[in-house]
Structure 1
Amino acid sequence: MKIGVSGASGNLGQEVLSALRRQHTNVALVGITRTPSTVPAPVEGREGDYDRPDLLVQAYRGIDRLLLIPSADLRPGVRGRQLKAAIDAAHYAGVPHVVLVSAAGTKEVTEPSLGAPYWEGEQHLIRTVSQWTILRMNYYAESMAEEIKSSFGSGILAGLGPERVAYVSRDDVAAAAAGILIGEGHAGAIYNATGPATVTGEERAALVAKVTGAQVSFAPLSRDQLQGGLAQAGLPEEVVSAILEIKSNFVAGAFDIVTGDVERLAGHPPTSFQDVLSETLEA
């Protein structure tokens, strides 16, 4: 069997390939990326670009199971178009089974919402290919840990209101994806990769205090206050908009879901947010 990872040079793509190499050495692996020279041997590197569908069809040929990892492009309309192009290319290339990385809380929304590409991608996948699997991931524990690290000096962790998020580590998402790609019986399934428990804003601050010994508190702000602070920090407008939407989703409960899917797919319990936080802050 030949397994392909599209988006292989990104952090998640690299972790998926590493997980597959560690656990399944008898499988042929293909890393599809705009920079195939960066794909480490013995993985086969192939050139692929979500903005060049002609390249994708060639890159996907001969692959039995393909993982599609969305790009990090935040421009409205771009990721949705890219995902549809990649799904179509997989279909034209004759890939029997396509696995899509999506996001927790995905539902029908329109651009410029961050969730729109995931909804469009999921729906297009289901309509287009014969065998599909969707892996919806919760918010990265590493991303929140880095956010905390950058704002640590203020002693304040800002939000827009009460939060409940089941932060998941990138390694656990990669291991779950690898489990789908190498396993059987996953066609037509929608999984949710989550951490072992939801964490509130107050609990997040308490964990930071526990790990570092510093006094830290969670502070709900108004949307205007948070937007002004982010803009004052010099962040680009599209990044500010993305952060505001993510924080709103924290409050709305989009990431307030805990499942056993990581353990079921990866074969081990998910890493706790505290452990990721400890590793990041100690580093």
Structure 2
Amino acid sequence: MSQSRILVTGGSGRLGQMVLDQLLHAGVSGIITTTRTPDKLGAYASLGVDLRHADLNDPQTLSKAFQGADRLLLISTDDLFSGRRVQQHTNAIDAAKRAGVRHIHYTSMPEPEASTAIPFSSDHVATEATIRESDLSYTILRVAWYAENPVELGLIPAALRTGTWLTSAGAGRIAYVTRSDVARAAAAALVRDKETSQIYDITGPHAMSAAELAAALSRSVDRPIEVRQVDDTALARELVASGVSPQLAPMLVTTDANTRAGNFERVSHAVQELTGVPPTSFESFLVKNKARLLGATDK
């Protein structure tokens, strides 16, 4: 196992904590994590993780926070619509160079150049370019949409309430991947000795159409679910009418538009290649979370 010191940004986020858990489970020592809220991670300090305050909006906090790290996982921030995200990432990359980091890992998205339907795809294009121009070696993890997204954004709860999976994706397919599989892949990449630059597509095992997704949901909860194809405008309106938050519905609409364009259909074996274990299928994810799904629907 590599003796390099690993730094994970965004350690208080869901993915960040999962990556820390994977690294600790693998017996990695000397882990550093940065966050704006170190007090939330006291349990990790007791396990030997070096907690450091850092704010990607404030470059002055980063040079000290990144000191001593050899390999950096830059988890893309969730500041999707402020216009500050690229600068946040650039601040981290610049600080990594100043601190002597040798290798940067970054969580990007599938086909960022082509995915113009996604409003923040350009953030990933710009960040990947900055990393390539940094003269540091890098690993780009182009992460497929989380399997949790249709649950957390309200699509699946709405489908269970109404019996209808609303979509404008047409025949497009999407290779959902679980957040835990992304964490496993990221942690495995971090502990590799290789420091050659490379790009991995981090996907689930299958790309599925809306009809296949709805059928998987139907089987997993033993309820009939039909698919209704509509256009993007109708999708936005009908999702809200079915109970999806007006703030979240646009994300589902742009996801379907990008799926329809074929930009989410890529399937790779990277998760298994990196970890030795295949990724979880979307249907297995649904079955495992059946109680949660039905509980969210009944609220």
Q: TM-score normalised to the size of structure 1? A: 0.93
Provide the aligned C-alpha RMSD in A: 1.9
Please give the alpha-carbon distance, in whole angstroms, between the structure 2 residues aligned to 1:117 and 1:129. Answer: 20
Amino acid at match of 1:222: D
Q: Report the counterpart of residue 22 of structure 1 in structure 2.
A: 25
Q: Is residue 223 from structure 1 mapped to residue 232 from structure 2 by the alignment?
A: yes
Is contact 2:117–2:257 with CA below 8 Å preserved after alignment?
A: no
Q: Is residue 6 from structure 1 mapped to residue 9 from structure 2 by the alignment?
A: yes
- Paired residues for 1:1-283 under 5 Å: 1-23=4-26, 25-39=27-41, 40-41=44-45, 42-107=48-113, 113-146=119-152, 147-151=154-158, 152-160=160-168, 161-230=170-239, 233=243, 235-236=245-246, 239-283=248-292
Please give the alpha-carbon distance, in whole angstroms, between the structure 1 residues aligned to 2:283 and 2:79. Answer: 29
Instruction: Output one character per residue of 1:6-26: Cα deviation in whole Å (capped at 9) or x when no partner.
Output: 011111100000001001x24
Instruction: Output one character per residue of 1:183-205: Cα deviation in whole Å (capped at 9) or x when no partner.
Output: 02252100011111111100111
Please give the alpha-carbon distance, in whole angstroms, between the structure 2 residues aligned to 1:175 and 1:145. Answer: 21
Please give the alpha-carbon distance, in whole angstroms, between the structure 1 residues aligned to 2:263 and 2:84. Answer: 22
Note the C-alpha offset of 1:210: 0.7
Please give the alpha-carbon distance, in whole angstroms, between the structure 2 residues aligned to 1:55 and 1:129. Answer: 23
Instruction: Output one character per residue of 1:10-46: Cα deviation in whole Å (capped at 9) or x when no partner.
Output: 11100000001001x2421111110112221221110
Please give the alpha-carbon distance, in whole angstroms, between the structure 1 residues aligned to 2:116 and 2:222. Answer: 43
Report the identity percentage: 33
Is contact 1:46–1:59 with CA below 8 Å preserved after alignment?
A: yes
SS in 1 for 2:220: helix
Is contact 1:142–1:277 with CA below 8 Å preserved after alignment?
A: no
Note the C-alpha offset of 1:132: 1.1
Amino acid at match of 2:5: K
Amino acid at match of 2:245: L
Please give the alpha-carbon distance, in whole angstroms, between the structure 2 residues aligned to 1:31 and 1:202. Answer: 41
